[in-house]
Amino acid sequence: MSSSSPDSDGFYRLSVPLLLTVAILGVFAFIQVYSVQSILPELQRDLNASVVEIGNAVGMTVLAVALISPFIGMLSDALGRKWLIVLSVFALAIPTALMTQVQTVHGLLVLRFLQGLAVPGVSVVAIAYVGEEFRGAAMVRLITGYVTGSVLGGFMGRFLMGHLAEFMSWRTAFGVMAVINLVGAWLVWRGLPPSRHFVANTRVADNLATLGRLVRNPALQVACSLGFTVLFALVGLFTFINLRLAAEPYHFNSGHLANIFSVYLLGVVITPLAGQLIPRIGSRRTVLAAVIVSAVGVLGTLATPAWMIVLALAVAACGVFVTQSATMSFIAHRVTSGRSLASGLYYGAYYCGGFAGAWVGGIAYTLGGWHGTVATLIVVQVLGWLIAWRFMPGLAAPLASGQSPSRPA
């Protein structure tokens, strides 16, 4: 078990093993969500799938996350924290292992959806657990560790699957990923101390009343609309760029595609920098500038040289990371009650955008190639910019000392 022990107030003290455990939580919350992106060309070929179908191999997972995120917090509030986290990490291994037997694209889509159902049991509940069991600097450092782990998880899933597929079949690679998930579940079970401050809340009527108030909150409506456009652009960009780079004249294999996702690691640097920028110029100005930066990156992927495409992907990703941080900060300032449920609603809209990006982006790629996909992404980003420009208020109150907005991968 964890070496952490409670202090005089009953809250756990920070320790290096505990910090590593929470970072591992972040890794396993997102390691499977986007893992197929680096092998999409192989999946399309072997499963005889259309562009739209193979795009939905990403979209079905984020759709499942979107559907269950608003409600997993209420489930955890009623039933507990640690056991649900461990069970969710373990549950991710089951559909991952079953992918070793996939013979049709429809079977793959079903299993990818089942993977997504398990993700919020880690991503949503982990933040609630840390907020209950730790205080002060320990809580801030653990949340920062979780966010860092989530960025690493998003990268590692793509990176590992891409390079594993170089040396073995993609079906065998999924088996390896399932074993990694089982190891992660064991590490979390051993390293995460039991809940001490959890108090069950089974008052469903109160939760539903809070839900009703939140869906009518103008600030949350703006944030959810903006979040939809953010992940639409990110998923559409990083899903279908793989198909472009696997085709002529580039002929990238799965390892090459996996390496491209190294630009995702920029989130480890950009997220804390954004946290310093947002209080100075406000969420609205930050979003307006960041969306423009991201759109410039998306347009840059129309270039021909591979190195320019990778650079453009990095620019686009940085804009998305800053936009997401500013939007989460905006929610923290403008929503003063029911924050856990508000975050769940935001994540629901955010991941619905990811599903739409995978689906609509695939249609655009089918009809107009990469130029069609880029045009679609730009239209959605312009919509996001207009939402922020028209409906987000000016400077928000500055972040409280030590506060750090969380960011899903």
The angle that helices 120-133 and 339-391 make with each other, rounded to 10 degrees, is: 110
Could you tell me which CATH number the domain at 209-398 has? 1.20.1250.20
Distance CA 392, CA 396 (A): 10
pLDDT higher than 50, residue 405: no
Question: Which pLDDT value is given to residue 400?
Answer: 42
pLDDT higher than 60, residue 8: no
The angle that helices 16-30 and 120-133 make with each other, rounded to 10 degrees, is: 150
pLDDT mean over 202-220: 81
**Is CATH 1.20.1250.20 correct for 12-194?**
yes
- Residue 51 contacts residue 362 (beta carbons within 8 Å): yes
Distance CA 261, CA 35 (A): 11
Looking at the chain, the whole-number percentage of residues with pLDDT higher than 90 is 57
Distance CA 231, CA 409 (A): 10
Instruction: Tell me: cis bond preceding 249? Omega within 30 of 0 counts.
Output: yes
Question: CATH 1.20.1250.20 region(s) of the chain?
Answer: 12-194, 209-398
pLDDT level of residue 396 (50, 70, 90 thresholds): very low
Q: DSSP letters along 124-190, please?
A: HHHHHHHHHH--HHHHHHHHHHHHHHHHHHHHHHHHHHHHHHHHS-HHHHHHHHHHHHHHHHHHHHH
Query: pLDDT for 51-106, tens place per residue?
Result: 999 999 999 999 999 999 878 877 877 777 888 899 999 999 999 999 999 999 99
> For the chain, how big is the Rg over CA atoms in Å?
20
pLDDT mean over 28-35: 92
Question: Which pLDDT value is given to residue 201?
Answer: 67
- Residue 112 contacts residue 57 (beta carbons within 8 Å): yes
pLDDT higher than 80, residue 395: no
Those residues whose C-beta lies under 8 Å from the C-beta of residue 140, and which sit 6 or more positions away, are 402, 403, 404
10 vs 120: which has the higher pLDDT: 120
Least confident of 30-34, 175-179, 323-327, 400-404: 400-404
pLDDT higher than 80, residue 172: yes
Those residues whose C-beta lies under 8 Å from the C-beta of residue 193, and which sit 6 or more positions away, are 1, 2, 4, 12, 18, 82, 133
Question: Which pLDDT value is given to residue 69?
Answer: 85
Query: pLDDT for 119-147, tens place per residue?
Result: 998 887 887 787 777 777 777 678 778 87
pLDDT level of residue 408 (50, 70, 90 thresholds): very low
Least confident of 87-101, 312-326, 337-351, 371-385: 337-351
pLDDT higher than 70, residue 222: yes
Question: Which pLDDT value is given to residue 283?
Answer: 86
380 vs 338: which has the higher pLDDT: 380
pLDDT mean over 379-402: 76
Mean pLDDT of the chain: 86
Question: Which pLDDT value is given to residue 6?
Answer: 56
Cα distances from 210 to residues 89, 195, 199, 347, in angstroms, run 29, 25, 18, 17
Query: pLDDT for 283-336, tens place per residue?
Result: 899 999 999 999 999 999 999 999 999 999 999 999 988 888 788 778 877 776
Q: DSSP letters along 322-344, please?
A: HHHHHHHHHHHHH--S-HHHHHH
- Residue 223 contacts residue 388 (beta carbons within 8 Å): no
pLDDT higher than 70, residue 409: no
Neighbouring C-beta atoms of residue 200, cutoff 10 Å = 10
